[in-house]
Structure 1
Amino acid sequence: MQNVDVELGDRVKKHVTSLLISLSKEENQEDNHANQSSPSIFKVPRVLRELSQTSFDPLLVSIGPLHKRHENVQTFEKEKPNYLINLIKRTESPQEEILKSCMQEAYSLMNEIKACYVWEKPCGDFKFAQMMVMDACFILEYMVKIQDHANQSYSGRLLQHYSVLHDMLLLENQIPMVFLDKIFRCTVLKFKSISLVELILPVLKAHDLFGVDIETNNISIDTTLHILDLLHKCCTPQNYDTTNTKPASQIPTHSAVNLYRAGVNIRPNQNPTWPMQLEVQKNWFPCFYGWSMLSLKMPVLKVHDSTEFLLRNLIAYEQSFQTGKPHRYVTSFALAMDMLMNTQEDVAKLIDSGVLINQMGSNEEAASMINKICKHVTWEEFIYEEQWKKMDDYCNSYWPKHMAKMWTTYFSSPWSMIALIAGIMLFTLTVIDTIFTVNPPE
């Protein structure tokens, strides 16, 4: 029995030693990669993908390695060589020379490009370089065509055109901007005077969320990871104080209808410093009880066919620990809209207030879509905490609180209003009758 215990103890020691060695190796690998950039192109977590798989899968074209074998993209893969050939021809330089320089760029950035992806089935360097050059040239040629035909329609190919622009903004369907910029310099800059951001701009404008001009003046290609990251930078502020943000679970919620009943005036933010800026302003009125109304100034959100997939991809991008993003702006905006839009009545109120344009089938459908986007999303911070706190303090003050209660009690339905009016009339008649009974007319 004692021998058995000794053997068991030795076996446990061996397992512990083996585990410590394994952990030591992993720690050394982490130290070796500490200075490398984190992956920025990866598969969306399953818990988010299962809610809306169509929001993350390409409709027509694959960019990068993650969807190369997807059945939807196989037909279009055969068209890509034509885009590459047409782009190279535009340079009016020897085709072999241009193609060689593109492949050299792919090989020189090979390790950096591969480090941008999280994928399960890596391929050889030549095949990978070929794929990267093909996809980069396709994007650039497609965008050059859009520039050339800016005032012309895509007759007969509108659906394909929409699908391509849709696929270029999927998180799993990106190409590193550092490499796209290198191929841009090898090709487009040889025949066209334009910046890469200007060339890509039509992709961002094609799926307009907020109805404001997209500002790219302060955005550097050098610090942009890919096209979806470029859109994210256009939606978020360059400098924004989030030192006082709190977890969303601590934030009080008020729907649009409840805010309206308490006297909060919801209206469009006419001059926002960034597209998703929300402001709360106090409007004083010279009432004897000192009641002040609030104004919630919001961006004008367009709810259409592209809204769900854009928000889901931007949120999934922010949610990943791999991107290391300090602030989750789009995630916070989605939560704010989720709190405001509980029912179709809330949607109707936001539409009446001019802060929502609903291009979907119904108000109920729009509310359902926004509410589902926030499902299974982690809320580590809420950047509108200060604005929501102001509204909560206001709604819980004496007069707004009672105004909201009166709305709910007496004005929630036509019958309640009729009953209130009837009660007031009955009370008035009773008072008059009492007066005439006590003091009858002479």
Structure 2
Amino acid sequence: MENSDLELGSGDHVDMIQLRLDYHVENEARHRNQSSPSIFMVPSRLRDVSPNSFNPRVVSIGPLHKDDVNVQAFEGQKSCYLIYLMNRIKNSSKEEVWKTCMQKAYTLMNKIKACYVWPETMSYSDAEIAEMMVIDACFILEFTYQPVYDKESLYLKDELQYKSVMDDLVLLENQIPLFFLNEIYHCTILKFDSHASLIKLIHELLHGKISNFIFSTTLEININDNSISSANHILSLLHQCYMPRDDMKEVRLGSRIHSAIDLDMAGVKLKPSNETENPTWVMGIEMKQNRFPYRPTLVMPKLKVRDSTEFLLRNLIAYEQSLKTKMYFTSYSNAMNMLVNTQEDVAKLVDSEVLVNLMGSNEEAANMINNLGKNVRAHTFYEEEWKKLNKYCKGYWPKHIARVRSTYFQSRWSVIALLAGIILFVLQVVQTIFTILSSGRNM
């Protein structure tokens, strides 16, 4: 306690304590009313499982990876994109456009800072943050504008590098606030193209380039102009695109289901959802009971498993795990984790056409799917379907069908042995019948 506090009377001292308490209560209330930061370093419990899934490979966006060694070579190309974007504005000089954009950044500085969880070791001045935000925003806008309107990109001739940049734009730690991107869009693209739409530009990136890396579907992902005001950043916008129906409930994972092989043994058919199934949600999973034959079908989206699938799903899951948002990617990854125990389960999903394996082997795909669920809080949107599925599997006939199939149809040799046994039994019966008939004629 400082000397000035010691000199106060007892009443003054009580008043001072009350003032401090009131300040802390007010500060806590103000903090609760503010939106939580949405751009941050992924928690170590998730990062340690797959560190490379969260680090940009080519381009840094925002402050969290700006000093990484591997992204420094691209900084010059970002400046080229900025200059090319500003050159499109014929009625203003580059200096005027730059000044307008920087003024926007300074005006919104506190709001921009509030979007990040800043590491203690990171320190940037307001001038550095403003310049960083403007350069990165202009790069993203020019990058998304070029593929749509200019068929040939001026700076990205390397297709592999182009895909890597798209991958980097959806990393959780590699984002800038969407509201600021929208402000710079008004200061630049709308100045020379009044018909352009920021949401359409990003939609082209998300739906045409990024989202097809996850699911093979023609179902249009949800995106509209309201998403600009409700989403935090590009990854957040991608997350919103897959939002489930309002009537679907999210609960803590309770019921667990058997693996793909075990479900097949019990007579459950796996089938990819498509246009004929009229799916209302891209990630919807539904158990459909057939009257005849009495064999249920588990209808689910067709997942594409490739190298980029893991990092994209991991970043979406990390976003869900760290914010108060619906966990539908977490739910889907939990479902796949339960269906896959071994590479044989992956083979069954591939045969059922609910999984396209573009990785090196079924074992690699199984490891990737199982690792997605490590250190992740278990939530599900499919609890009702799991209850129906488990109720079927616990029935008399499914359990016995599964036991018979696992005993006699597990491999081709067991099938051959069963057929040989049946043939031998039939021959013995025939021989017995002939023996009895022969004995009857001799009597």
Shorter-chain TM-score category?
A: 0.7 to 0.9
TM-score (norm 2): 0.87
**Residue 376 of structure 1, CA deviation:** 1.1
**Residue 258 of structure 1, CA deviation:** 1.2
Equivalent-residue separation in structure 2 for 1:390 and 1:153 (angstroms): 55
Verify: 1:280 aligned to 2:287, yes or no. Answer: yes
Verify: 1:222 aligned to 2:245, yes or no. Answer: no
- 1:420 corresponds to which of 411, 418, 421: 418
Equivalent-residue separation in structure 2 for 1:329 and 1:176 (angstroms): 22
Aligned residues: 413
Q: Could you tell me which residue of structure 1 aligns to residue 66 of structure 2?
A: 68
> Residues 150 and 251 (structure 1 numbering): CA distance in 2 closer, same or farther, change over 3 Å?
farther
Contact 1:267 1:297 in 2 (8 A): yes
Give the letter aligned to residue 55 of structure 1.
S
SS at match of 2:46: helix
Verify: 1:388 aligned to 2:391, yes or no. Answer: no
**TM-align CA RMSD:** 2.3
Give the letter aligned to residue 140 of structure 2.
I
Equivalent-residue separation in structure 1 for 2:341 and 2:241 (angstroms): 28
**Residue 432 of structure 1, CA deviation:** 3.4
What whole-Å deviation, never above 9, does each CA across 1:55-101 have from its counterpart, x for those lacking one?
Answer: 00000111011111111111111222221111111111322332222
The share of aligned pairs that are identical, in percent, is 51
- After TM superposition, the structure 1 = structure 2 runs for residues 112-123 of structure 1, keeping only pairs within 5 Å, are 112-120=111-119, 121-123=122-124
Verify: 1:400 aligned to 2:398, yes or no. Answer: yes
Equivalent-residue separation in structure 1 for 2:280 and 2:346 (angstroms): 25
Q: Could you tell me which residue of structure 1 aligns to residue 102 of structure 2?
A: 103
- After TM superposition, the structure 1 = structure 2 runs for residues 231-310 of structure 1, keeping only pairs within 5 Å, are 231-242=238-249, 245-248=250-253, 250-271=254-275, 272-285=279-292, 292-310=294-312
> Residues 155 and 241 (structure 1 numbering): CA distance in 2 closer, same or farther, change over 3 Å?
closer
What whole-Å deviation, never above 9, does each CA across 1:312-340 have from its counterpart, x for those lacking one?
Answer: 000000000xx211x21000100111111
Q: Could you tell me which residue of structure 2 aligns to residue 77 of structure 1?
A: 75
**Residue 107 of structure 1, CA deviation:** 1.7
Q: Could you tell me which residue of structure 1 aligns to residue 215 of structure 2?
A: 210
> Residues 293 and 153 (structure 1 numbering): CA distance in 2 closer, same or farther, change over 3 Å?
farther
Q: Could you tell me which residue of structure 1 aligns to residue 177 of structure 2?
A: 176
Equivalent-residue separation in structure 2 for 1:117 and 1:26 (angstroms): 22
**Residue 155 of structure 1, CA deviation:** 7.8
Verify: 1:163 aligned to 2:164, yes or no. Answer: yes
Give the letter aligned to residue 190 of structure 1.
K
Give the letter aligned to residue 206 of structure 1.
K
Deviates more, 1:361-370 or 1:426-435: 426-435
> Residues 374 and 223 (structure 1 numbering): CA distance in 2 closer, same or farther, change over 3 Å?
same
- After TM superposition, the structure 1 = structure 2 runs for residues 359-378 of structure 1, keeping only pairs within 5 Å, are 359-378=358-377
> Residues 26 and 56 (structure 1 numbering): CA distance in 2 closer, same or farther, change over 3 Å?
farther
Contact 1:276 1:298 in 2 (8 A): yes
Equivalent-residue separation in structure 2 for 1:238 and 1:196 (angstroms): 25
Equivalent-residue separation in structure 1 for 2:256 and 2:221 (angstroms): 33
SS at match of 2:246: coil
Equivalent-residue separation in structure 2 for 1:211 and 1:151 (angstroms): 27
SS at match of 2:304: strand
Equivalent-residue separation in structure 2 for 1:441 and 1:161 (angstroms): 87
**Residue 24 of structure 1, CA deviation:** 7.5
Deviates more, 1:202-211 or 1:110-119: 202-211
Equivalent-residue separation in structure 2 for 1:146 and 1:437 (angstroms): 84
**Residue 238 of structure 1, CA deviation:** 4.9
Contact 1:332 1:382 in 2 (8 A): yes
What whole-Å deviation, never above 9, does each CA across 1:361-382 have from its counterpart, x for those lacking one?
Answer: 0111111111111111111x21
**Residue 154 of structure 1, CA deviation:** 8.4
Equivalent-residue separation in structure 1 for 2:393 and 2:263 (angstroms): 7
**Residue 414 of structure 1, CA deviation:** 2.3
- After TM superposition, the structure 1 = structure 2 runs for residues 52-63 of structure 1, keeping only pairs within 5 Å, are 52-63=50-61
SS at match of 2:128: helix
SS at match of 2:281: coil
**Residue 202 of structure 1, CA deviation:** 3.4
Contact 1:154 1:161 in 2 (8 A): no
Equivalent-residue separation in structure 2 for 1:220 and 1:158 (angstroms): 30
SS at match of 1:293: coil
Equivalent-residue separation in structure 1 for 2:68 and 2:272 (angstroms): 42
Equivalent-residue separation in structure 2 for 1:186 and 1:152 (angstroms): 22
Deviates more, 1:148-157 or 1:169-178: 148-157
SS at match of 1:283: coil
**Residue 240 of structure 1, CA deviation:** 3.7
Equivalent-residue separation in structure 1 for 2:256 and 2:161 (angstroms): 44
Equivalent-residue separation in structure 2 for 1:428 and 1:371 (angstroms): 46
SS at match of 1:66: coil
> Residues 92 and 187 (structure 1 numbering): CA distance in 2 closer, same or farther, change over 3 Å?
same
Q: Could you tell me which residue of structure 2 aligns to residue 6 of structure 1?
A: none
Equivalent-residue separation in structure 2 for 1:140 and 1:312 (angstroms): 25
Equivalent-residue separation in structure 2 for 1:387 and 1:149 (angstroms): 47
**Residue 424 of structure 1, CA deviation:** 2.0
Gaps of 5+ in 2: 1-16
Equivalent-residue separation in structure 1 for 2:317 and 2:175 (angstroms): 16
Equivalent-residue separation in structure 2 for 1:180 and 1:49 (angstroms): 27
**Residue 441 of structure 1, CA deviation:** 4.8
> Residues 184 and 155 (structure 1 numbering): CA distance in 2 closer, same or farther, change over 3 Å?
closer
**Residue 348 of structure 1, CA deviation:** 1.3
- 1:201 corresponds to which of 203, 218, 237: 203
